[in-house]
Amino acid sequence: MAIDRRDFLKIAASKALFSLPMLSKAATQAKGRVVVIGGGYAGATAAKYLRTWSNGGLDVIVVEPRSQFVSCPLSNLVLGGNKDINDLTFGYDLLKSNHGIQWVNDEVVAIDVASRVVKMKQGELAYDRLVIAPGIDFMFEQLPMLQSPEAQEVVPHAWKAGAQTVNLRKQLESMKDGGVFVMSIPKAPYRCPPGPYERVCQVAFYLKNHKPNSKIIVLDANAEIISKKSLFTKAWAEMYAGMIDYRPNSSVLAVDVATKNVKTEFESVQANVLNVIPPQRAGKIAQIVGAASVDKRWCEVDFLTYESKIVPNVHIIGDSVSAALPKSAHMATSQARVCANAIVALLSDQAPDTLPVFANTCYSYVSDKMAMHVANVYRYDANKKMMVPAEGGGVSDKPSELEGNYAQAWAKNIWSDVLT
């Protein structure tokens, strides 16, 4: 039976298909050392495929200060009470042992681009090619009152899954019935476009079942819901009627941490539990290496290799990249494969793939079991010199438990691909 583009995208969404570039035999003769900074979705995937596609010819070293991988996808379910943070926490042992990846638990403090040396707190590493996958950092200069760890203990962002996610969940559990949960959403671009709106659903699910007299106020700096708008709007109206007060064009200007009072251009809003997601930029390592170029926030790259347009021999993947693409986990792994393929080719004197194609799928849960998705295939446009969405695209008609099952399968598949 023939499968059209829309059906393919739906299958990709449900089966978590991950496109893999094809490598010539000559490209597997690559030799040299590649240092990868960052062990998240992008960095771990790049390290794996650099080793795999070079047949072990490349010496691959990952520098990552964390001892464990914590998944941001599905972390909102911790707030709804439908996941435990331990369900989303994994070790790196299988990734390292299965692929012969060297691992350094350390923090990068400087990069000497001219000498091709990464400087860490406890040593140095030379490289032939450098891959940085730094994720995002927060622009606390816009909200300096939230910069300290003490302030974030009171007003967590929980936008990097882990301890802050658990903290925010505990605050919800401690909130009185009839309390007000206030959440802010920064102006796009930011990590995971539908993530904040999924978080609203998860908090609403918890409150509806445990504290039904409570209210949610959403302060969105954007003019409207920027992802899956009709689906989220309908879910809020039908599943959580009267609970969610959505306020667009509401940028947070100041926060009184002690009282949990938020000021926007138009009003002051009082919260019992306050969740402020700050504006974002490319991660710290991108700033250190001097690769952030778009308003000093994001990094411009060559989309055939993901090499920085500013810093030679440095490749940037994941959320830090400047592109008209969603900053998602699936996108990060897709970019990582293209980047790994290109580096293996370059280090074996081959030309990188000139027409890369990859897919992206993003699920959002509206309850404990019901989810919805958006999926697209992206291709390289040689004239625009960037990745662009192919015609069509898959978006759920409505949330369903079947899609919730697909979302769980997607998560298990991507975790397996990244970490084993």
Can you give the three-state secondary structure of 313-354, one letter per residue? CEEECCCCECCCCCCCHHHHHHHHHHHHHHHHHHCCCCCCCC
pLDDT at 95: 98
Which of 22-36, 83-97, 121-135, 184-198 shows the lowest per-residue confidence on average (mean pLDDT)? 22-36
pLDDT above 60 (res 41): yes
Q: Is residue 200's pLDDT more than 70?
A: yes
CA–CA distance from 262 to each of 142, 288, 306, 390 (Å)?
14, 32, 39, 41
What's the pLDDT score for residue 30? 80
Confidence of residue 295 (pLDDT cuts 50, 70, 90): confident
* The dihedral sign for the CA sequence 378, 381, 387, 388: negative
Give the mean model confidence (pLDDT) for residues 96-114: 97
Terminal Cα distance for the chain, rounded = 34
Average pLDDT over residues 125-150: 97
Share of residues in the chain with pLDDT > 90 (%): 90
Whole-number pLDDT of residue 21: 52
* pLDDT above 50: residue 414: yes
What's the chain's average pLDDT? 93
26 pLDDT above the threshold of 60:
no
Contact 364, 194 (CB under 8 A): yes
> What are the angstrom distances between the C-alpha of 170 and each of 158, 173, 201, 320, 386?
12, 5, 17, 30, 43
Is the pLDDT confidence value at 4 over 70? no
Q: What is the CATH number assigned to the segment(s) 144-278?
A: 3.50.50.60
State how far the Cα of 157 lies from the Cα of 175, in Å rounded to an integer. Answer: 17
**Three-point CA angle 347, 350, 355, nearest 5°:** 115
24-65+105-138+281-352 and 144-278 agree in CATH topology: yes
Mean pLDDT of 72-83: 98
pLDDT value for 162 = 97
What is the per-residue pLDDT for 25? 44
pLDDT of 209 > 90? The answer is yes
pLDDT for 11 equals: 40
Binned at pLDDT 50, 70 and 90, residue 391 comes out as: confident
Looking at residue 18, its amino acid is F
The answer to whether residue 14 scores a pLDDT higher than 50 is: no
pLDDT at 229: 97
Q: What is the mean pLDDT of residues 305-309?
A: 97
Is domain 1-21+356-405 in CATH 3.90.760, yes or no?
yes
**pLDDT tops 90 at residue 164:** yes
Per-residue confidence (pLDDT) for residue 17, from 0 to 100: 45
* pLDDT at position 235: 97
Average pLDDT value for residue range 386-407: 92
The pLDDT assigned to 1 comes to 28
Domain assignments of the chain as residue spans, ordered by start = 1-21+356-405, 24-65+105-138+281-352, 144-278
Q: What is the pLDDT of residue 24?
A: 44
Classify residue 27 by its DSSP letter. Answer: G
> What CA–CA distance (Å, rounded) separates 292 from 12?
32
Output the CA–CA distances (angstroms, integers) from residue 73 to 129, 159, 248, 365, in the order listed: 29, 10, 25, 10
Q: Is the dihedral of CA 28, 32, 38, 39 positive or negative?
A: positive
What's the mean pLDDT in 65-85? 97
> Which superfamily does CATH assign the domain made up of 24-65+105-138+281-352 to?
FAD/NAD(P)-binding domain (3.50.50.60)
Predicted local confidence at residue 29, as pLDDT: 74
pLDDT value, residue 392: 67
- What is the pLDDT averaged over residues 69-73? 98
